[in-house]
Amino acid sequence: MSLLSVFDEALRVARPDVYYLRRNFLSVLVTMLVTPLLYFVSFCYGLGSSVSDIGGVSYVAFVIPGVVALSTLTSSFSAIANKVLAQRIYYTSFDEIVLCPLSPSAVILGKALVGFLKSMLACSILLAIGLLMSADGMHVTPMLYLCIAVSCLTFSFLGVLVGFISKSLTDIIMFTSLIVVPMTFLCGTVFSVSSLPEAVQYFISALPLTYSVECIRAAALGWGVPLLSLAVTAAFGAAFFAICHWMLVSGRISKK
């Protein structure tokens, strides 16, 4: 099966999401941008002037890529997870997708696709706002975009995976409050993780957002090519995808 045909099939799977987005573009956009904009306001304006420089850049410049990384997670994860869960459990439409001549890879990619594109858009807007706020020291490069793209894709796959393994909305809410919310606070989005206690550092080193923040920040602030953290972020994404694939092929995603 060629990559091209997987992509063609993924576009078919993503089509309903495209229709939905076309109708509700503005509200979707606003919803995505609220959390990161609140971070911008509270950390850059509220806190920014009273915090000293970190790693040779102003606190504001430090926070901006952190918030961009954060939104690679927040702008699509829960939308995808909730939708996939609903399609599996409440509408059983996932069973019908399984009956269609579409490869499992295409189904996973298709379910993640619109979320991924939405996150990319949100990140671009946030980056533009960030540049207006503090352009000094920021490097918008292809490398930065690669880091953002890998991160968006990783968390879109995480959304599909959580949609696959959850048995009800309660499971998603639990996953969100036990894993996602701690990630948004602890993974170095608005402060340097080196200031945290060692035990916490061990914990957050197991969380994908840590690496996503690391590579996006390094790329944005020109701190060298963050190959390792980019690779770890991608590895998380590949693992999420692989588990989804295994669940689909072994028939574990069905409601029954």
Partner 1 sequence: MSSSKRPSRDPEAGASEYIIDAEGVVVRFGEKTAVDGVDVKVLPGEIYGLLGPNGAGKTTTIRVLTTLQTPTAGRISVGGLPMPSENKGIREKIGIVQQMISLDKDISVRENIICHGYFQKVPKADIMRRMDSISSAMGLTPFLDSTVVRLSGGWQRKTSIACALMHDPEILFLDEPTAGLDTQSRHMLWDMIRQLNKAGTTIFLTTHYIEEAESLCNRVAILNGGRMAALGSPRELCDGIGRFAVEHNNEDHTRSYRYFSDWDGAKAFAAGFGDDESVVLRKTSLEDVFLELTGRKVTADFVKVVRI
Is residue 92 within the footprint of partner 1 (CB under 8 A)? yes
- Which region, judged by CB under 8 A, interacts with partner 1, from 89-97, 124-132, 156-164, 167-175? 89-97
Is residue 45 within the footprint of partner 1 (CB under 8 A)? no
Interacting residues with partner 1 between 94 and 123 (CB under 8 A): 95-102
Whichever of 13 and 60 has its CB closer to partner 1, that residue is 13
Print the binding letters for residues 182-201 with partner 1: x by CB under 8 A, - otherwise. Answer: --------------------
What is the spatial distance between Cα 55 and Cα 70, in angstroms, rounded to a whole number? Answer: 20
Closest CA relative to residue 163, chosen from 214, 256, 94: 94
Is residue 224 within the footprint of partner 1 (CB under 8 A)? no
Whichever of 11 and 140 has its CB closer to partner 1, that residue is 11
Whichever of 94 and 236 has its CB closer to partner 1, that residue is 94
Residues near partner 1, by CB under 8 A: 12-13, 15-16, 19-20, 23-24, 87, 90-93, 95-102, 251, 254, 256
